[in-house]
Amino acid sequence: MDSAEVKRCGKPPGIRFLEYTKKSNLSFKTHQAIVLIVTFLAYTSYHATRKTTSIVKSALDPQSPDLSLTSFFKRAEANNLTASSKQSWVLGGGWAPFDGQDGTALLGQLDVAFLFVYAMGMFFSGHMGDRMDLRIFLTIGMVGTGVFTALYGVGYWANIHVFYYFLVVQMLAGLFQSTGWPSVVAVVGNWFGKKKRGLIMGIWNAHTSLGNITGSLVASTLLKYGWGWSMVVPGIMIIFFGLVLFLFLPVSPGAVGCDNSEDDLYVPQKAGEGVREPLLSSDTDGDKSAVGFIEAWKIPGVAPFALCLFFAKLVAYTFLYWLPFYVSHTAIAGEYLSNEAAGNLSTLFDVGGVVGGILAGHVSDRLDARAITAASFMYCAIPALYLYRNYGHVSMTVNIILMLITGVFVNGPYALITTAVSADLGTHSSLRGNARALATVTAIIDGTGSIGAAIGPLLTGYISTNSWSAVFTMLMTAALVSGLFLTRLVVAEVGAKIHQSRRVIPTSRTPAALEV
C-alpha cells in the first residue's frame, strides 16, 4: 500500500459510510464492482450530454433536417437578425441565428469548435489527472460539463440569438468533456490487471453507445416542450452522477488502503520476462512521480497506437456524423428512408460497435496480442466498407447485415485502443510500477485520435459534394494507414510468439512440455 497515495486521495465518503454500516472493510472485488458501475454511469452521462446537440440541431435549423458540415466551407455572410427572429420559439420555426441560409454552417462551426477544444483539452486533462485526485478531477469535469450543457439550453429562455454565446458555451463544454475519458480509463486500469482487461473493458466500453442512445431519447422526448429542456435536463443528469462519483469512486487500491488480490497490477517484470511483452522494452528507473507529457510519448507503443487511433477515429466519427445523412440520401431497394427511419437504422452501426469492442477485447486477451488484434480489425474494415458502399442499397436486409459488420470492424479496434491498450501502456513495465501515468497516456492516445475525429467529418464535407464513393475510398485508405502504423508492433508480437513457442521444448522424458 502506498501511504502517500492514501493520504493524497483518501477514501470517498460513500465508501466510508458503506464500511461503517457493514462494520467491516469492503473487499477488493466489491471495490472493483463499484468502480465499474460508477465509471460506467459517469461516461454514459458524458456521452449523453455530447449527443444532445445533434438532436437540438433540427429544431434550431429546421430548413436543413439533414445536417451536414458541407456548408461549413460555403458560409455566406451572416444575416442580420430581424424582429421576427427574436420572437418566441415554436417547434418547426427555427432559432436565430441558425434559421437563416447559413444556419447549417454555423451549427457546423459549433461541432468543429467542440471537437478541436475537446481534443486539445484531452492532452492537458491527462497531464493534470495524473497529478490530482482523479475523483475530485472527474467531479469537477462532470459538474462543469453539466453547467455549460445547461447554459446552452438557457439560451432558449433568455431569448439569446448571439452566435458567439453558443460558440463559447460549446467550447467550454468541450474543455470540461475532455476530463472524462483519460480519467475513467485510468481508474479502471488501476483496478483491473492485464489478464482480463481487454474483455472487461470491451464490455464496459458499451457506455459510449448507451450514452448516445440515452442522450437521443431524452433530448427527443423533451424537444416538444422547447429545445432548451433537451439541453438542461441532460446537464442536470451529469451533475447528479458527478456527485454520485464524488461520494463513491475509489481511485485505486492504494488510495483506499485495499489489499491487492490481483498479481498483475503494477508488478515490475522480473529479469528475462520482457520478451513476453514486446512493447515493454525500456529500462526507465523507478521514479514514482507523475510521468511528464514528453516522457509519456516515449513509452514504447504510445506513438504508434496514438497515430493508429487518429485514422481509426477519423473513420468512426465520419460514420457518427454522416451515416444518418448518407442513409437518408441513398435509395435502399429503390426507396428513400425518412430522416427518422434513417436515424433509427444508423443506430445499428453502434450495436455492431458494441459487439466489436467486446470481441476485440476478448480476442486480444486470448492471444495476448493487442497490436495484432487491432491491426487485423482495421484491415478487415476495408472490405467491410467496400461492401457496404457497393451493396448496401440492394435491400434492407443486406444493408442491416453490412452495417452491423462494418460497425464491428470499425469500432472494435477503436474501443480496444482507447481502453485496454491505453491502460496497458499506462501501466507499462518500463514505468517500474509507477501508477501515475495512466491518465497522461490515455489522453495522448485518445487526444490524438480526437483530432482525427474532427478532421474526418470536415474532409467528408468537401468530398461528399462530388462523390460518396470518393468518401468511402478515403475511409478505406484511412483504415489501411491505421493498420500500417501498427506494423512494427505486430512484427514484434509475432516475433515474441515465435520466440516463446521455441522455448517450449517437448521431450520424451516428460509427460508435458516444459517452458524454459
Residue matched to cell numbers 520466440: 499
* Alpha-carbon span 505 to 501, nearest angstrom: 8
Of 92-106, 370-384, 448-462, 484-498, the poorest mean pLDDT is in 92-106
> What mean pLDDT do residues 388-393 have?
93
Look up residue 265 and give its DSSP letter: S
Q: Which pLDDT band, with edges at 50, 70 and 90, does 499 fall under? A: confident
Task: Report how far residue 177's alpha carbon sits from residue 447's, in angstroms, rounded to the nearest whole number.
Answer: 12
Whether the per-residue pLDDT at 85 is higher than 50: the answer is: no
Q: Is the pTM of this model over 0.85?
A: no
Q: Which three cell numbers stand for residue 321?
A: 456524423
| pLDDT tens, position by position, 262-297 | 444 443 333 333 334 444 333 333 445 556 667 777
The answer, yes or no, to whether residue 125 has pLDDT greater than 90, is no
Which of residues 351 and 75 earns the better pLDDT score? Answer: 351
Q: Among 70-74, 122-126, 178-182, 461-465, where is mean pLDDT lowest?
A: 70-74
Nearest-angstrom CA–CA distance, 190 and 450: 24
Q: How far is CA 280 from the centre of its chain?
A: 25
- How many residues does this entry show for the chain? 516
pLDDT score at 491: 92
pLDDT in tens, 134-170: 899 999 999 999 999 999 999 999 999 999 999 999 9
Written as one letter, the residue type at 168 is V
**Residue 332 DSSP code:** B
Top mean pLDDT of 168-177, 412-421, 496-505 is at 168-177
Q: What angle do CA 470, 473, 479 make, to 5 degrees?
A: 150
Above pLDDT 90, what percent of the chain?
A: 33
Q: Are 348 and 392 in contact (CB under 8 A)?
A: no
What pLDDT score does 97 carry?
Answer: 87
Of 242, 258, 185, nearest to 15 by C-alpha is 258
CA–centroid distance for 252 within its chain: 21
Cα 56 to Cα 68: distance, rounded to the nearest angstrom: 14
Instruction: Report which of 175, 188, 194, 173 is spatially closest to residue 41, judged by C-alpha positions.
Output: 188
On the CB side of 291, CA atoms within 13 Å amount to 31
Cβ(279)–Cβ(440) under 8 Å?
Answer: no
Q: 427 near 374, Cβ under 8 Å?
A: no
pLDDT per position as a tens digit, 17-48: 998 998 888 889 899 999 999 999 999 999 89
Helix/strand/coil for 238: helix
Residue 22 has a pLDDT of 87
In this predicted structure, what is the pLDDT of residue 148?
Answer: 96
